[in-house]
Chain A
Amino acid sequence: MAAVIETRGLVKRFGSVTALDGLDLSVEEGEVHGFLGPNGAGKSTTIRILLGLLRSDSGTARVLGKDPWADSTEIHRHLAYVPGDVTLWPNLTGGEVIDLLGRLRGGLDPTRRADLIERFELDPTKKGRSYSKGNRQKVALVAALSGDVPLLILDEPTAGLDPLMERVFQDELRARRAQGLTVLLSSHILSEVERAAERVSIVRAGRIVDSGTLADLRHLTRTQVAATVAEPLAPQRLRELPGVHDVAVDGDRVTFSVDTGHIGAAIAVLDRAGLTTLTSTPPSLEDLFLAHYDEAAAGR
């Protein structure tokens, strides 16, 4: 599949601060790509380079096959953007802003606009200055989602939304993905990315430290297993298996963690000991994420 967004070795410095330090990001057509990292890791800087708002000091970036700095206007006809911190014109209504941004991009679908306003429970007649943070975010989301563009760039789009509205957003994202839309979803809310994204890139201190499908990333980490067995089980029988760690046996209760690729053999041992209950918890994105950061902190 073709890469919709591709960066190689992006570097961006602000004075003495290096915001991006050789960032390689690849987003393929038709995927929702989670862009994860803590505050200040360089997510927004990357996005603003992809939008042609900032100029990188070195490295290359391609968006829809074009250079975002030189061809920004042409690229922007085919994408919609929701900034993390939405500010509206104080004396324009939300409805006016939605129409304006849609038209400046090349038009929006009025049916979809009306539908989104209803589902997001947005009052489009209020003036920009009287919206709350969440409602400003909704204005930007409706403006972005009302268009008919193949690429969405969302910078922490749900930061101000309540859980109900976040669900509306997730539903909409799923529906749009089914239509073949490509989405770059920057966030530090792991559950949000976990629900929506197929592939994830984790950014730390201006570099991508890990990138791949959730399955790929999980493959490299451990699943937590807790089981009860009918017959006494010698811990040694589990410990001698490859990829099994932290084995603890307490009467009929057995807990351990296992590298995801080796789970079959461990379950077979449990089965021979008369497995009665089993819970296995795959690593959450949070575990992946924290693992990267703990590692980085330890290595420092």
Chain B
Amino acid sequence: MSAYTGTGQLLRLAWRRDRLLIPVTVATLTALSVGSAQATMALYPTDQAAVEGLGGILSNPAVSAMYGPVVVNRGGLSVFKTVMLGAVFLGILTHALVRRHTRVEEEEGRFELIGAGVVGRRAPLTAAVVLALLTSIVTAALSVAGLAALGLAPAGSVAFGVTWLIAGVVMTGVAALAAQLTTSARAASGLGLGTLGAIFLVRAVGDTQANAGVLSWISPLGWVGQVRPYGANRLWVLALALALLAGCLGVAFALLQRRDLGSGLLPARPGRATAAASLRSPLALAWRVDRATILGWSVTYAVLAVVVGNLVKSIADMADQPQVAEMLRKLGGTAGLLTDIYFATELRFCAAGGAAAGIVLAVRLATEERVGRTEPLLAAAVSRPRLYVARLLLALALPTLLMTVVGLVAGLVAAAADVAGPSPLELTLAAWATLPAVWLLIGVGFAAYGLGQRWTAPVGWAALTVALVLGEFGPLLELPGWLVGLSPLDHLSQLPGGSFAAGPAIAMTVLAAVLAAGGAAAFRSRDIG
């Protein structure tokens, strides 16, 4: 029996479990790349029209920070939004696939069942890696075919596929390594997604600061931008990603060879023999269980805020170029100052991230119930509303904290840079103004939990994804207004700089409250488990 015996069987098992998740995500990503390219091309029928219409963004650091470097021709502009965002989405997907079929399986004890059968030691990890790589390849290939069918240059379309493939390949390796380094699925997820966030930030700095270009080559997400589809078409950059994958897998398999089932690199340390006096309520338990996650998000957002605040210098340098301001106004902004538009855009993405943090906590609650940890709490003298409200409060408080950190820290850093722009207070208020949309999305997650724990993750993540895709790509795809209006992110005031629209904010807050209360009522009257 070789170390790989059973890989094929396990691959089929993994596919059986993910036969809905993978096709739906792959189709969504393909529709995103091809659909937005089609819309851009319809809007700008020639190269010249595209460059005149969109080329002004070429030198805008705010755009580069978000989307990476832009290739200024019709092909490059038709995919400039999807290259980086799609790469990040695909990276999250491959990371989730690898983690799901390795560390999660091990933690929940199913590996033991499989490991006792005729299955080689390396087979589970190999099967997970193959599944993630196949998913990446199919996603990239479908986009290449779709873009080429639109009439875009085949070489450039292949280069576009390579950008996504790089992200999928890199995050497959990162997730494989993280699953071996850590002892829990949660820690693996923190390490993997934390790495994704870090390489995104490094890339953002590298792509925007004139003297920091080397950072774009250090970050694997920087490589994505360096392929330059429909420009230089540097397909060879994929080799860097494959080398990194090989390195990660080499280390991962070496660790796998050395460690016991269920363990990681670091041995589990003993903890306290009695509980702290404060551990006496569902809220205290939620905090005790999730504090590492909350701390992780907070640190991430503080770093993010420093980067966002720092970039404002580059934005201010551009304020003199009128065609740039004109261009951004056409892209959706109505506020006057470039820095305001910049901050408003960044805050929207931060808000989406904050909603993700809240949904993570809602999904945690669902997982607790699924694995049987809710039962002993409810069998003690804890009422269902008390349990639900404790977790809801924490899930609403976390993004509130995160947006406060972003507004305050970015504001202070920007103020220190001494450029014209919003004050720390204005920026904090602007960050808070996004919260109704964030709470609404979290409310959807909790309403789903109220109906049944198994609905929480699919409904919560689908709500966030739909909100992001509609908000970000809806106008570009020329979707009808009512459809784009379904995204809570579409109803945010243009802040800082614009005026605060109280109506939508109140409406969204009320709707969030209704959803949360409905979830609580449903939770009260349903079976547990």
Residues of chain A having any CB pair with chain B under 8 Å: 48, 51-55, 72-74, 76-77, 79, 81, 83, 85-93, 95-101, 103-106, 123-127, 129-130, 140
How many angstroms from the CA of A91 to the CA of B281 in the assembled complex? Answer: 17
Q: Which A-chain residue is minimally distant from B109 (CB atoms)?
A: A133
Q: How large is the interface on B (under 10, 10 to 19, 20 to 34, 35 or more residues)?
A: 35 or more
How many angstroms from the CA of A130 to the CA of B387 in the assembled complex? Answer: 26
* Any A CB within 8 A of the CB of B273: yes
The answer to whether B381 and A99 touch across the interface, beta carbons within 8 angstroms, is no
Within 8 A of A (CB), among B157-195: 183-184, 186
The answer to whether A87 and B279 touch across the interface, beta carbons within 8 angstroms, is no
The answer to whether B380 and A101 touch across the interface, beta carbons within 8 angstroms, is yes
Select the stretch in B218-226, B320-328, B371-379, B481-489 that faces chain A: B371-379
Q: Which B-chain residue is minimally distant from A89 (CB atoms)?
A: B289
A-B contact pairs, 19 of them (CB 8 A): A51-B375, A51-B379, A54-B528, A55-B527, A72-B378, A81-B379, A86-B372, A92-B271, A95-B272, A96-B271, A96-B276, A96-B288, A98-B275, A100-B279, A100-B280, A125-B270, A126-B270, A127-B271, A130-B268
Instruction: Note all chain B residues with C-beta closer than 8 A to A76.
Output: 378-382
**Given A53-B529, A55-B525, A96-B279: A105 in contact with B270 (beta carbons within 8 A):** no
Q: Which A-chain residue is minimally distant from B268 (CB atoms)?
A: A130
* Any A CB within 8 A of the CB of B285: yes
The answer to whether B375 and A53 touch across the interface, beta carbons within 8 angstroms, is yes
The answer to whether A104 and B525 touch across the interface, beta carbons within 8 angstroms, is no
The answer to whether B273 and A91 touch across the interface, beta carbons within 8 angstroms, is no
Instruction: Note all chain A residues with C-beta closer than 8 A to B292.
Output: 91
The answer to whether A104 and B383 touch across the interface, beta carbons within 8 angstroms, is no
A140 to chain B, nearest CB (A): 7
* Any A CB within 8 A of the CB of B107: yes
The answer to whether A87 and B271 touch across the interface, beta carbons within 8 angstroms, is no
**Given A124-B274, A125-B270, A130-B268: A90 in contact with B378 (beta carbons within 8 A):** no
Interface residue from B271, B282, B527 paired with A54 (Cβ < 8 Å) = B527
How many angstroms from the CA of A89 to the CA of B282 in the assembled complex? Answer: 13
B263 to chain A, nearest CB (A): 9
Interface residue from A53, A55, A87, A105 paired with B371 (Cβ < 8 Å) = A87
Q: Which B-chain residue is minimally distant from A74 (CB atoms)?
A: B381
The answer to whether B373 and A88 touch across the interface, beta carbons within 8 angstroms, is yes
B122 to chain A, nearest CB (A): 24
**B-side binding surface: helix, strand, loop or mixed?**
loop
The answer to whether A95 and B273 touch across the interface, beta carbons within 8 angstroms, is yes
The answer to whether B289 and A105 touch across the interface, beta carbons within 8 angstroms, is no
How many angstroms from the CA of A125 to the CA of B269 in the assembled complex? Answer: 9
Among B183, B186, B379, max chain A CB count under 10 A is at B379
**Given A73-B382, A100-B285, A104-B280: A87 in contact with B527 (beta carbons within 8 A):** no
How many angstroms from the CA of A247 to the CA of B203 in the assembled complex? Answer: 91
Interface residue from A55, A89, A96, A126 paired with B373 (Cβ < 8 Å) = A89
The answer to whether A100 and B372 touch across the interface, beta carbons within 8 angstroms, is no
The answer to whether A125 and B271 touch across the interface, beta carbons within 8 angstroms, is yes
Interface residue from A52, A86, A87, A96 paired with B272 (Cβ < 8 Å) = A96
Within 8 A of A (CB), among B321-366: none
**Given A87-B373, A90-B184, A100-B280: A105 in contact with B272 (beta carbons within 8 A):** no
**Given A96-B275, A101-B376: A127 in contact with B268 (beta carbons within 8 A):** yes
The answer to whether B274 and A91 touch across the interface, beta carbons within 8 angstroms, is no
The answer to whether A99 and B375 touch across the interface, beta carbons within 8 angstroms, is no
A-B pairs with lowest CB-CB distance, top 10: A99-B275, A104-B380, A125-B270, A93-B271, A96-B275, A81-B379, A95-B273, A103-B280, A53-B528, A105-B380
A192 to chain B, nearest CB (A): 22
Contacts A83-B375, A98-B275, A105-B380 known; 20 new A-B pairs at CB < 8 A? A51-B375, A54-B527, A73-B382, A76-B380, A76-B382, A79-B379, A81-B379, A83-B379, A85-B372, A89-B373, A91-B184, A95-B275, A96-B272, A104-B280, A104-B282, A124-B273, A125-B273, A127-B270, A129-B107, A129-B184
B211 to chain A, nearest CB (A): 43
How many angstroms from the CA of A72 to the CA of B527 in the assembled complex? Answer: 13
B176 to chain A, nearest CB (A): 21
The answer to whether A87 and B372 touch across the interface, beta carbons within 8 angstroms, is yes
